[in-house]
Amino acid sequence: MSVPVMTVPGEPPAATPAGVAVRAAGLRKTYGKGETAVQALAGVDVTFARGGFTAIMGPSGSGKSTLMHCLAGLDTATAGQVWLGDTELTALRDDALTALRRQRIGFVFQAFNLLPALPARENIVLPMQLAGSRPDPVWFDDVVARLGLRERLGHRPHELSGGQQQRVAIARALLPRPDVVFADEPTGNLDSRSGAEVLGLLRSSVRETGQTVVMVTHDPSAAAYADRVVLLADGRLAGELTDPTAETVLDALRGLGA
């Protein structure tokens, strides 16, 4: 059932086809040097369609987080290229990359998503403020309402539950209408009910507003919210699934020996 992704090794296409949000070609990442070197990514070629909800899955240590960090411009690749739309991230210097992150990429992490000193509202608008732009108030209200945060805007992170904190992080990620939202195990610290809530919100933002979302997860039932699952093993792509269900994902993971 795993369909190999079409690749043209060493010869990346000159332009990103329309409809593709993020694309990586020949992506390698090596930690350390010599004897102790660890190859976290051993040549990954992958594309993520605009308006799609993709889950990245694989055994622990397979390189999921590393892939996401490189795709999001949080970490530099050892070799290979990453494009966000028509912009090659791997060619940008730190300041340009930073500016791009705050305008075109949204993040949701597993934990420590919010600045403890700032109330929820400030946390949500922070990336836009850093970019020097103002959020569209109608869109802001819309996002806040959909995430059910209207009553919570004045609270500081330590006054919010884990699920609420993740919803604030999602609101922050969605507010600038980024090209793509990356989420690394966004439900890893939540109970199943709050987890389902968060995943539902991510999915509805894809369905209702055409937001592109890429999510790393360990949980097959979380992956089932996605349109597509990309499987990773030992730093390489190891197949993918479309329209996954918890069962098909479990089967595929078993196939990887996880």
Partner 1 sequence: MRSVLIAQLRAHAARLVASTLAIVIAVGFVVATLVLNATARSTVLEAVGAQYVGAAAVVTSTDGASLADDVDTLAGLGSVAAVAPSYETSVQAGIPGRVGSQYLFVESVADDAALRWQRMTEGALPDGPGEVAVSERARAEVGDVLTVTSYDETGGESTSEATVTGIVDLSGDPQAGLFGRAFVTADQARQWGAVDPVELRVAAAPGAGDEQVRSDAATALGDRQVEVLTGSERADEAAANMLGNAMALTAVLLVFGTVAVVVAGLVIANTFAVLLAQRTRELALLRCVGATARQVRRGVLGEALVTGLVSSATGAVAGIGLAALVSALVGGAESPIPLAGISVPWYAPLAGVVVGTLVTFLAALAPARAATRVAPLAALRPVDQAPLRSRPGVLRLVLGLLLLLPGVGLMAVGVTAGDVLIALPGGVLSFLGVVLLAQRGVPPVVAAAGRLAGRLGGVPARLAAGNATRNPRRTAATATALLIGVTLTSAFVVGAASTRATAQAGLAAEFPTDVVVEGFSGELPATLVGTLAGTEGVERGASVLAGTVTGPDGEPTGAYGVDRDEATAALRSTEDLVLPGPGQASVPEWLAQTWDVADGDRLTLGGGDPDVEVPARELTVRVIDADNPLLLDAAELRALAPDAALGQVWLRLADSDPERQVDVVDRITDVVAEASPDSQVTGLVTMRAEIDEILDALLLVVTGLLGVAVVIALIGVGNTLALSVVERRQENGLLRALGLTRGQLRGLLAWEAVLVAGVAAVLGVLIGGAYGLIGAASLLGEIGTIVLDVPWLQIGVIVAVATAAGLLASVLPARRAARTAPVAAIAA
**Which residues is 23 bridged to in the sheet?**
47, 83
Footprint on residues 38-77 left by partner 1 (CB under 8 A):
65, 69, 72, 74-75
CA distance 94 to 76: 10
CB of 51 to partner 1, least distance (A): 23
* DSSP strand pairing (236-242 vs 180-184): unpaired
Kindly state the tokens that stand for 240.
């993918």
Helix, coil or strand: residue 53: strand
Contact between 187 and 198 (Cβ < 8 Å): yes
CB of 240 to partner 1, least distance (A): 24
> Which residues have C-beta within 8 Å of that of residue 160, sequence separation ≥ 6?
120, 152, 168
Indicate whether 31 belongs to the interface with partner 1 (CB under 8 A).
no
113 binds, among Mg ion, ligand ATP, partner 1, none (CB under 5 to 8 A by kind): partner 1
Indicate whether 115 belongs to the interface with partner 1 (CB under 8 A).
yes
258 binds, among partner 1, ligand ATP, Mg ion, none (CB under 5 to 8 A by kind): none
Q: By CB under 8 A, which span of 1-9, 12-20, 129-137, 249-257 interacts with partner 1?
A: 129-137
Indicate whether 65 belongs to the interface with Mg ion (CB under 5 A).
yes
CA distances from 19 to 10, 26, 38, 45, 73 (A): 22, 21, 34, 17, 20
Indicate whether 117 belongs to the interface with partner 1 (CB under 8 A).
yes
Q: Is 116 exposed, middle or buried (0-12, 13-18, 19+ CB in 10 A)?
A: exposed
Indicate whether 187 belongs to the interface with Mg ion (CB under 5 A).
no
32 binds, among partner 1, ligand ATP, Mg ion, none (CB under 5 to 8 A by kind): ligand ATP
**Which residues is 41 bridged to in the sheet?**
29
Q: Which strands sit side by side in the sheet containing 213-216, from one edge to the other?
A: 105-108, 180-184, 213-216, 53-57, 228-233, 236-242
Q: Which residues bind ligand ATP (CB under 6 A)?
A: 31-32, 38, 40, 58, 60-66
CB of 80 to ligand ATP, least distance (A): 15
**Would you say 58 or 119 has its CB closer to ligand ATP?**
58
- How many residues touch partner 1 under the rule CB under 8 A: the total is 34
Give the binding site for partner 1 (CB under 8 A): 65, 69, 72, 74-75, 94-95, 98-99, 101-103, 107, 109-118, 126-127, 129-132, 156-158, 172, 184
Give the binding site for Mg ion (CB under 5 A): 65
